[in-house]
Amino acid sequence: MHTMQCVTNKGAGAGLRERKKQATRAALSEAAVRLAAEHGAENVTVEAISNAAGVSPRTFFNYFDSHDDVFVMMDPDVGERVRRAIRDAPAELSPLDAVREAMAAELAEVELRHEVWSLRAKVFQKSPHLLARGLGLHMAEERDLARTIARRIDPDGPAGPDVHGGPGGSGSGTRSDSAAPAGADPCEDADIDLYPRLLAAVAGTAARVAIEHWYAHSPPLTFPEIFRDVFTHLSAGLPQPPAQTDDRPSDGRTTES
Amino acid sequence: MHTMQCVTNKGAGAGLRERKKQATRAALSEAAVRLAAEHGAENVTVEAISNAAGVSPRTFFNYFDSHDDVFVMMDPDVGERVRRAIRDAPAELSPLDAVREAMAAELAEVELRHEVWSLRAKVFQKSPHLLARGLGLHMAEERDLARTIARRIDPDGPAGPDVHGGPGGSGSGTRSDSAAPAGADPCEDADIDLYPRLLAAVAGTAARVAIEHWYAHSPPLTFPEIFRDVFTHLSAGLPQPPAQTDDRPSDGRTTES
DNA sequence: TCACACATTGCATGGTATGCAAATGTGCAG
DNA sequence: CTGCACATTTGCATACCATGCAATGTGTGA
């Protein structure tokens, strides 16, 4: 199992134990994507993935909650990083701009690790329900994101506890406990405003659309361009773009200048 | 198993055969929601649902592709109705407005069958992953919606076959074949523009947020109000709303004038 | 080195999902 | 009314998903 150069500083101040876990997780994730890109996610059993990664099938479930999660979860810390970026963004940025910048920074990885994302694209095309599942940020993340946005807008909000990541160790260990810790109150949502909730959801969706569109039109357009276009549409209120029969193949350019 | 008065004209020009299928589907769906509202979706087995509906467990899978689908699929024809409404909308409406109106018409049902949706809300609160799954329109629907929007904007588009529902019988029979009919080309996506794609995705997300927010703040606000507010935010470009700690109950009005 | 902590593994169990063939029920022509 | 054609239901068998538990092996700190 090859270890892999990670973009962010992972396994930095960690012992051998921690690094092995990271390696195992990466091996499973990569093997899964690689197999699924060829045969389709549905036709790749947990046994096959574990086998390709060189671990027991039982171990698979020590790292991922379900068969599908291995294709969807990429980095348990991405949500926390985005939220931190939003908190630390310059005060003069509008909420939408703050979210856009935070996501753009995180999605830079998409272009760096181009190959893996390209494979992931194949997987998602073959089984769209995976897209519905985890992309962007899944629902729990969306709630936290909404809360962070609300806090940025009005720090004296409904006294909800500020949402931070766990201790230094982070969630990179076995089994990320993303969902509610057993007895969490589902009515917790009630204190979130409509606007932050909407912004969080729409921003996540926008990121997803940007990625989808990017690997549908991969050659002519770069990801940052598409990402920028998407948020331009959004902040303009989604008006109908000026004609631009766009798909007419003669010209590569798609949307606005 | 009680039959049920359906809002739309179902089982109208149908024989006994068709009506029985509708009844079975409704019985399964209702039993599932009712049980899940109390015990949580995860703790309700297919056997229990089938048992409550008075059919064999095997029959359950003749109607729904998975355990989760029974909570999510409500009406196989809703997507087609929305698309038709968009096509038939007055030409002077902006794309965003056309989509908004089409969805509003469809979501009127949410207020009519208030009780079922209230139960559904409980289910979704207890297991958020269901929300992620099928809400509003799942991904396949989103693609069709995007195509319809593109066609409305530019009827002389990339010659993609216009997307319509099947013959009169509709998809109400056994097992809705929503996904690709076996050998569908996944690269079909490539000819859809960024703007229609984004609008379809964002509109779907907006509808979801409206429903979530509605049953999180059910008493003070009506669903049409929230729905209108959501799309107001959207068409305004998601600017930060004017302070308005909003939860303050004194005034019904939520966003801008 | 020794003992502790933790990850991996095998085994057992229960639930999910599908294919196939027999039984049952509906629709329709004779 | 009777019998045929067809669709649905059902039971059975099978494979996979997912979890709990106990035993084992390896990293960590004293």
pLDDT reported for residue B176 = 46
Q: Do residues B65 and B165 make contact, with C-beta atoms less than 8 angstroms apart? A: no
The tally of CA atoms less than 13 A away on the side-chain side of residue B102 is 27
B88 versus A162: which is more confidently predicted? B88
Q: Residue B70: pLDDT above 60? A: yes
Q: Do residues A132 and B139 make contact, with C-beta atoms less than 8 angstroms apart? A: yes
Say whether residue A157 is in contact with chain B using an 8 A CB cutoff: yes
Q: How far is B79 from chain A (nearest CA, A)?
A: 16
Burial (CB count within 10 angstroms: exposed 0-12, middle 13-18, buried 19+), residue B158: middle
Report, as an integer, the average pLDDT of B37-54.
Answer: 94
Place of tokens 């939860």: B247
Q: Do residues A137 and A99 make contact, with C-beta atoms less than 8 angstroms apart? A: no
Over the stretch B182-231, which tens digit does the pLDDT of each residue have? 333 444 566 778 888 888 888 888 888 888 788 777 677 778 888 888 99
What CA–CA distance (Å, rounded) separates A211 from A107? Answer: 9
Q: Which chain B positions have a beta carbon within 8 Å of A134's beta carbon? A: 132
Instruction: State how far the alpha carbon of B138 is from the alpha carbons of A63, A171, B24, B130, in Å.
Output: 27, 30, 23, 11
What are the residue ranges of helices labelled H in chain B?
Answer: 16-39, 46-53, 57-63, 69-72, 78-88, 95-112, 114-126, 129-134, 139-153, 194-216, 223-235
pLDDT reported for residue B218 = 67
Report, as an integer, the average pLDDT of B126-139.
Answer: 67
Q: How would residue B76 be classed by pLDDT, with cut points 50, 70 and 90? A: low
What CA–CA distance (Å, rounded) separates A103 from A117? Answer: 16
% of chain B residues with pLDDT over 70: 68
Q: Do residues A245 and B156 make contact, with C-beta atoms less than 8 angstroms apart? A: yes
- How many Cβ contacts (< 8 angstroms) between chains A and B? 165
Q: Do residues A27 and A37 make contact, with C-beta atoms less than 8 angstroms apart? A: no
Say whether residue B230 is in contact with chain A using an 8 A CB cutoff: yes
Strand C positions closer than 7 A to protein CB: 6-12, 15-20, 26-28
Q: Is the CB of A47 under 7 A from strand D?
A: yes
A126 C-beta neighbours (distance < 10 Å), count? 18
Say whether residue B209 is in contact with chain A using an 8 A CB cutoff: yes
Residue B43: which residues within 8 A CB-CB, separation 6 or more?
none
pLDDT reported for residue B34 = 92
A249 C-beta neighbours (distance < 10 Å), count? 7
**pLDDT in single tens digits along all 257 residues of chain A:** 443 434 444 444 567 778 889 899 999 999 999 999 989 999 999 999 999 999 999 999 999 999 998 988 766 677 788 888 888 888 888 888 888 888 888 888 777 777 777 788 788 878 877 876 665 456 667 778 888 888 887 766 665 555 554 444 444 445 544 433 333 344 456 677 888 888 888 888 888 888 878 877 767 777 888 888 899 998 888 777 676 544 444 443 444 43
What CA–CA distance (Å, rounded) separates A25 from A53? Answer: 9
User: For chain A, which domains are there?
Assistant: 15-71 (1.10.10.60), 74-161+188-239 (1.10.357.10)
Which residues 237-256 of chain B have a CB within 8 Å of chain A? 237-241, 243, 245-247, 254-255
Residue B179: which residues within 8 A CB-CB, separation 6 or more?
A128, B140
B100 C-beta neighbours (distance < 10 Å), count? 23
Q: Do residues B22 and B10 make contact, with C-beta atoms less than 8 angstroms apart? A: yes
Q: What mean pLDDT value characterizes chain B? A: 74
Q: Residue B169: pLDDT above 50? A: no
Report, as an integer, the average pLDDT of B77-104.
Answer: 85
